[in-house]
């Protein structure tokens, strides 16, 4: 799908997309954006609304934008809170959580039927003694910031997702 800011097509429309692609091959664009995910569409919006660029093309290989990683059912980690990002320090998690809470509260207030988002449970797994110790230490540090955070035993994991522990030796 290609989108020319000067065309009459809407950004999310797929009407006559093959015909539009064929016609656009002879045009010269000031900016070509490859990929219609969250970054590509945000860039298209920003450039078309806040610059004097007149000829922009968005090239997306699928029939619609945001069908892969940016689709609400494909990426449950789009909004990072800092609770399971094991590379975050406590200080970074505090900063990230403040910002994520603003977005979360806005969504909850404006979309109580959850039409624009989905809520998924998250889990960090430790494999081996060293990772288990690191995760236990992290839990001690982070549990005040994330009161709903909890450690899950091997037995609980076996109930939730048996294939994670199937045929694995106990540490």
Residues 6-27: tens digit of each pLDDT: 433 334 333 434 444 445 566 8
In the chain, the percentage of residues whose pLDDT exceeds 90 is 23
Residues 25 and 75: beta-carbon distance below 8 Å: no
Judge if pTM exceeds 0.85. Answer: no
Token look-up 């939730």 returns 160
> Both tokens of residue 66?
């945001």
Name, in order, each residue with C-beta under 8 angstroms of 92's C-beta and a sequence gap of 6 or more.
82
Question: What one-character DSSP code corresponds to residue 167?
Answer: T
CA distance 166 to 120: 23
What's the confidence (pLDDT) of residue 71?
A: 61
> Rounded to an integer, what distance in angstroms lies between the CA atom of residue 69 and that of residue 114?
19
Residue 81 has pLDDT above 90, yes or no: no
DSSP label of 63: S
Residue pair 124/93 in contact (Cβ under 8 Å)? The answer is: no
pLDDT of amino acid 16: 39
Is the pLDDT confidence value at 44 over 80?
yes
């Amino acid at each position: 799908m290609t989108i020319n800011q000067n065309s009459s097509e809407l950004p999310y429309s797929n009407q006559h997309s093959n015909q539009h692609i064929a016609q656009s091959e002879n045009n010269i664009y000031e900016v070509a954006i490859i990929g219609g995910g969250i970054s590509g569409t945000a860039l298209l919006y920003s450039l078309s609304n806040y610059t004097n660029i007149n000829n922009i093309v968005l090239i997306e290989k699928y029939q619609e934008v945001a069908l892969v990683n940016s689709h609400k059912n494909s990426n449950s980690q789009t909004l990072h809170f800092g609770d399971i990002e094991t590379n975050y320090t406590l200080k970074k998690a505090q900063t990230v959580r403040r910002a994520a809470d603003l977005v979360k509260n806005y969504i909850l207030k404006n979309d109580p039927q959850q039409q624009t988002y989905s809520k998924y449970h998250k889990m960090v797994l430790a494999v081996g003694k060293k990772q288990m110790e690191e995760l236990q230490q992290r839990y001690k540090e982070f549990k005040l910031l994330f009161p709903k955070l909890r450690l899950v035993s091997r037995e609980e994991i076996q109930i939730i997702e048996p294939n994670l522990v199937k045929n694995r030796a106990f540490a």
